[in-house]
Homo-oligomer: A and B are copies of this chain.
Amino acid sequence: VGAASWRIGLIGCGHIGGSLALALRAAGRAARVIGWDVDPGAAARALELGLVDEVASGGVAGAAASADVVVLAVPVAAIGPVAAAAAGALAPDAVIMDVGSVKTEPVAAGEAAAAAAGRAGRFVGAHPMAGSERSGPDAAEVALFRGRVAIVTPTAATAPDALETVRALWRAAGAHVVEMAPDAHDRAVAAVSHLPHVIAFSLAALVNAEPGLAGLAGPSYASATRVAASPPGAWAALLTANRAALLPWLDRFGERLSALRAALAAGDEKAVRALLEARDGV
């Protein structure tokens, strides 16, 4: 028997949602992709680019009604409300999955919305550790998730078959699936994604405050600030939503910088070296 092929309701046709649609289509696992976007121009562009087969005429509910899997590729603050709109139209054995970079509150909101619509257990949180500083349908990449980790965050409420569908979907897109609790996800992602973004934006702000300086930069600055080209609005929302997990990491990062500062101020090259060597773990 062949692998399952899903009808996808894609809510949000941007960089992540569009890339997932492309990956599933390329793998022959998307029977049909019905897209919708709060920005009609983005949905039209996704259709033009072949990311979706059609644009839903009935909004979120229209895209969700005939779907096996509804993918919410929307800002984290929208996950609860959009899950509610999708759940109201959802087939009993279909699944709603989000792809947001914060999980604790959005998953709780998504689960509550599904339960309120009589679809308890059909919402599953997910977050692919992939992406770039680009955004919008034109940034969709078929191989974006290939070889990347996709974190899936089931809870006690999650229906086992819904979880298995979400796992299979990410494997079909080329990702390695890792399961974590929503709060463990938020703490880990604060360190390996949110903190690097804070750093990149802050370094770019510092350097660009002085005209001419960035023009002298080489590849180390380019790498360090690459993701500072990401949309500030979306990132302000993410960072604020995950601030409880992020703040302790920011403090610990500040302590690392302070230790290096002290060693440098003392001219203690040996101590500086030991702090640099800690990059391999302690």
A29 at the interface (CB under 8 A from B): no
- Interface centre among A130, A205, A282, by most chain B C-beta atoms within 10 angstroms, is A205
A243 touching B264 by the CB < 8 A rule? yes
Interface of A is mostly: helix
A216 contacts which of B151, B228, B243, B249 (Cβ < 8 Å)? B151
Interface flags for A254-277 (1: CB within 8 Å of B; 0: not) read 101110110011011110110111
User: A264 — which chain B residues lie within 8 A by C-beta?
Assistant: 239-240, 243, 246-247, 250
Please report the C-alpha to C-alpha distance between residue A254 and residue B250 in the assembled complex, in whole angstroms: 10
Task: State the CA gap A217–B176 with chains docked (Å).
Answer: 12
Bits for A169-212, please: 1 = Cβ < 8 Å to B, else 0: 00000000010000000001101110111111111111111110
| A199–B218 CB distance below 8 A | no
Q: Which residues of B contact A202 (CB under 8 A)?
A: 253, 256-257, 260, 275
Least CB distance from A255 to B in Å reads 9
- A interface residues with partner B (beta carbon < 8 Å): 128-132, 148-149, 151, 178, 188-189, 191-193, 195-211, 213-221, 223-228, 232-233, 235-237, 239-240, 243, 246-247, 249-254, 256-258, 260-261, 264-265, 267-270, 272-273, 275-282
